[in-house]
Amino acid sequence: MSSIQIFHVTLEIWGAIICAIATICAMNGTKVETRVSHRTAMITANTMVLMIADCLAWAYRGVVSPSAILITRVSNFMVFTCNYLMILLFFFYVQALLREKGTEVNKTLVWVVYGIFLISESLLILSQFADLFYYFDEYNRYTRAPYFILSQVPAVIGMMILLGVLLTYRRVLSNIELLTILSYLVLPTIAIPLQAVFYGYSLQALATAVSVCLLFATTMTTRSRRMVEAMSEAERANHAKDDFLASMSHEIRTPINGILGMNEMILRESTDDRITEYANGISSSGSVLLSLVNEILDFSKISSGKLNLLPIEYELRGMLDSLVNMISPRTVAKALKFQVRVFPGTPNFLVGDEVRVRQVIANLLSNAVKYTQEGSITLDVNYERGTGKRITLLVSVEDTGIGIHKEDLPKLFSTFQRLEETRNRNIEGTGLGLAITQQLVRLMKGKITAESVYGKGSKFSVAIPQMISRDGRVGEYQNEGEAQRLSSEGEYHENFQAPTARILVVDDNNMNLKVAQLLLKKTKAQLTLSTGGRESLDILRKEKFDIILLDHMMPEMDGVEALRVMKSEHLADGAPVIALTANAVEGARQMYLSYGFDDYLSKPIVGKALEECLQKWLPEEKVVKFTEINQKSEETKKW
C-alpha cells in the first residue's frame, strides 16, 4: 500500500472505532431518552459503516484479485449509500428535535427527502452497470466517470432542504443544536469542491465524520443536562412529598387527638357501663384509624428511601413488657391464650433501632390477633451468637388462626393487597402491615419467613442482627396472668400529683388545649393555656414556668420560631421545652431535638405518655408520686 493508503486506512479505522463507541453510548441513551438519542445512534452507526467501507475501499485499491475487486466495488457502493443515507438520517434527527419541542415538520418535505434518497440510490445502482459516477480500471483503481458531479447533486439538494428547515424553525432550536446541524451542512459542503482538487483524499467522508462527532457530543451533553435537571426535579418532588406528609400528619392527627383525648376523659370519669362500652368502641376505632395513618406514612417514607435507622441502646425485657401490655387486652377481649416464651440466656442490653424492632414485632402480633378467632398466640424470643458482640435476634409469632393457602404465600408481603377479601371483609387494614414489616426487616439487614397451614394457623419468623451493648440476660420471663391483670384493672389513677408545678401549654387548636387540660386534671398541676407563639412569648416575659409544652405548626409564629426567641431572650431558662405536635413522620424526634427542644411527644396525646414525660422533666421536689399519695391517704384514715 502507498503512504496515502496507509494514512487513510489508519485514520478511518480510528474513526470507525470512535463511531462504534459513540453508537453504543447513544443506543444506551435510547433506553431512557427520547427519539433524539435513537436518531443519534442511527447516525453514528451509519458513520461507522461509512468509515469501515471507505477503509476497505482504500486498503484494496490497486490490488488485482477476484476477492479484492469484489470488496472494492461493494465498499465504494456502501460509501456512496451511507453519504446519501446520512442526509435522510440528519433530517430525521431534526424532525425528532422539533417534535420534542412540540413542532412538526411539513410532511411534504419528508416525502421530498425520501424521494431524493430513492433517486440517488437508483442512479448509484445504475452506475454499477453504466459507469455513470465512477469506474475501476484494469489495476482495480477508482476513477471518476464523466457524470460524477451528478452523484453530488442529490446531496446538495438534501442539504439545501435541511438548511431551509433550520432557517424556518431557528427560533425553536437552541443555539448549540443549530450550530451542530450547521456543522454537518457546512463541513461536507466545503469538502465537496476540495475533493475535486485533492483527488487522492476522502475529504467528504472525513468532514462527515467530524460533524457526526460534534452531533454526538451535543446529544450527550444535552442528555447529561436533562438527567441533572430530572434529578433536581425528583429531589424537589421528594421535598414536596415530605412537606405534604408532614402537613397531612398534622392535619389528620389534630382531629384524632381531640377525639381520642376527649374519649379518654369519658373512660376515666364515666360510671355508666353503657357509656363506657360506647367509649371503648370509639377508642378501638380511633386506634385503628391512627394505625392506618401511621402505616401509610411509614410506607411512603420507606418507598422513597427516606426512612433511616437510628441505633440506640435498649433493654429487650422492657420492650417485651410494653409489647405484652399492648397486645394482652386484645387477646383477652377475644378469649385467646397468649403465651410468651423467652430463652433466659438471651442478652438483655442490645444496640439497634428499638423503635423499628418493636414495630416489626408489634405488627406480627397485631396481625396474629386480627386473624385468630379462637385458640392461642405464642411469641417466641431467642438468639444466635455471632462474632464478637454481634448476635441475631430471633423472634417468631405463631397463631391458630385462619391460615393461608400455600399458593397465596408469595402474595403475602405485597403492598395494598389482602388475601381472601370476601372472607376477611370484616377485618380492618390497608394490606400494608406485612409489606412494611418485610421492608423494615430488610432495612435492618434481617430476614422474615412465613409458614402456614390453611385452617390451622400461621407462623412468622424474623431474624434481625443486633449488637450486645453490655452484660446482662433477660432471665426467666413470666407473663402468666398478665392479660387477666390488665383486663381487670380498675379505674384510672394518676401516676403523680404536682400542685405547685406551673405548666405552659401552647397550641393554636382550642380542642387540643382542652384535651391537655383534662388529661392533666387529676395531677392538680397549674396550667396556663396559650393559643399562639406570640402570645406565649408575652406570657413568658411576665411569668416563669417549670415546663413548656409547645406545638409546632401554628399561624403567625410557629413553635420553632417561638423557641428561638425564647432561647435568645432567655425566657425559658430552667424550663424544659417539649414539642407537642401532630408532625409524626419518621425522624421527627431527631428533627425537634436538633431545633433545640428538650423532648418530643406526638399527637394524639396519650395520657400515660404525657404524665411520664412531665414526671421525667418536673423538678423532683414538686412531684408527689402516686405511692406517696396513697400513704398519706392511709395515714389520714388512721388518724
pLDDT of residue 597: 94
Q: Does residue 354 sit in the same domain as residue 453?
A: yes
Is the pLDDT reported for residue 313 higher than 60?
Answer: yes
Residue 20 within any structural domain of the chain: yes
Cα angle, residue 600 at apex, residues 599 and 602 outer, rounded to 5°: 165
Average pLDDT of 102-115? Answer: 81
Q: Does residue 30 sit in the same domain as residue 165?
A: yes
Q: What CA dihedral angle connects 326, 328, 334 and 336, to 10 degrees?
A: 140
Query: Which grid cell sits at 339?
Result: 403465651
Q: Which residues contact 256 (CB under 8 A, 6 or more apart)?
A: 286, 289, 290, 293, 603, 604
What one-letter code names the amino acid at 55? C
pLDDT of residue 34: 60
Count Cβ neighbours within 10 Å for each residue of 281-308 and write b for 16 or more, e otherwise: ebbeebeebbbbbbbbbbbbbbeeeebe
Q: What is the CATH number of the domain that holds 447?
A: 3.30.565.10
Using an 8 Å Cβ cutoff, are 551 and 220 in contact? Answer: no
Q: Does residue 341 sit in the same domain as residue 418?
A: yes
pLDDT of residue 278: 78
Residue 270 within any structural domain of the chain: no
- SS3 label, residue 547: strand
Average pLDDT of 492-519? Answer: 83
Q: Which residues contact 363 (CB under 8 A, 6 or more apart)?
A: 433, 434, 436, 437
Is the pLDDT reported for residue 78 higher than 90?
Answer: no
Q: Does residue 157 sit in the same domain as residue 56?
A: yes
β-strands 376-385, 349-352 pairing? unpaired
What one-letter code names the amino acid at 83? N
Average pLDDT of 150-176? Answer: 78
β-strands 526-530, 502-506 pairing? parallel
Average pLDDT of 53-80? Answer: 80
pLDDT band at 423 (very low <50, low <70, confident <90, very high): very low
Residue 62 within any structural domain of the chain: yes
Closest CA to 609 of 499, 516, 536: 516
Q: Does residue 50 sit in the same domain as residue 194?
A: yes
Write out pLDDT tens, residues 207-266. 666 666 666 666 666 666 666 777 777 777 767 766 676 666 667 777 777 787 788 778
Residue 430 within any structural domain of the chain: yes
The dihedral region occupied by 480, where left means phi > 0, alpha psi between -120 and 50, and beta the remainder, is: beta
Residue 286 within any structural domain of the chain: no
Closest CA to 336 of 369, 292, 361: 369
Cis before 499 (ω within 30) = no
Using an 8 Å Cβ cutoff, are 473 and 349 in contact? Answer: no
Q: Does residue 446 sit in the same domain as residue 519?
A: no
Q: Does residue 335 sit in the same domain as residue 471?
A: yes
pLDDT of residue 54: 75
Residue 291 within any structural domain of the chain: no
Query: What CA–CA distance (Å, rounded) separates 277 from 333?
Result: 13
Is the pLDDT reported for residue 617 higher than 80?
Answer: yes
Per mean pLDDT, which range of 32-46, 54-68, 360-374, 407-421 is the poorest? 407-421
Query: Which grid cell sits at 184?
Result: 454537518
Query: What CA–CA distance (Å, rounded) separates 524 from 527?
Result: 9
Q: Does residue 481 sit in the same domain as residue 505?
A: no
Average pLDDT of 501-522? Answer: 86
Percent of the residues in the chain that have a pLDDT greater than 90, as a whole number = 17
Domain end among 185, 203, 231: 231
Query: Which grid cell sits at 606?
Result: 396519650
Per the listing, cell 438534501 goes with 158
Query: Which grid cell sits at 393?
Result: 435476634
What one-letter code names the amino acid at 152? Q
Return the sign of the alpha-carbon dihedral for residues 199, 204, 207, 213.
negative
Q: Provide the number of structural domains found in the chain.
A: 3
Q: What is the CATH number of the domain that holds 115?
A: 1.20.1070
Q: Other CB atoms closer than 10 Å to residue 170's CB: what's the count?
A: 11
Highest-pLDDT range among 63-77, 284-298, 556-570: 556-570
Q: Does residue 356 sit in the same domain as residue 504?
A: no
Range of the domain at 172: 3-231
Residue 531 within any structural domain of the chain: yes
Query: What CA–CA distance (Å, rounded) separates 413 from 421?
Result: 15
Domain end among 184, 214, 231: 231
Average pLDDT of 313-325? Answer: 83
Count Cβ neighbours within 10 Å for each residue of 87-105 and write b for 16 or more, e otherwise: bbbbbbbbbbbbeeeeeeb
Q: Does residue 474 sit in the same domain as residue 535?
A: no
Cα angle, residue 278 at apex, residues 274 and 283 outer, rounded to 5°: 140
Distances (CA, A) of 20 to 41, 46, 121, 216, 243: 10, 10, 25, 12, 47
pLDDT of residue 435: 80
Residue 303 within any structural domain of the chain: no
Is the pLDDT reported for residue 6 higher than 90?
Answer: no
pLDDT of residue 391: 94
Highest-pLDDT range among 104-108, 476-480, 520-524: 520-524
Domain end among 436, 462, 487: 487
Q: Other CB atoms closer than 10 Å to residue 390's CB: what's the count?
A: 12
Q: Does residue 586 sit in the same domain as residue 567?
A: yes
Q: Does residue 457 sit in the same domain as residue 606?
A: no
DSSP line for 557-621:
S-HHHHHHHHHHTTTTTTS-EEEEES--STTHHHHHHHHT-SEEEESSPPHHHHHHHHHHHS-GG
Average pLDDT, the chain: 77
Write out pLDDT tens, residues 493-502. 667 888 999 9
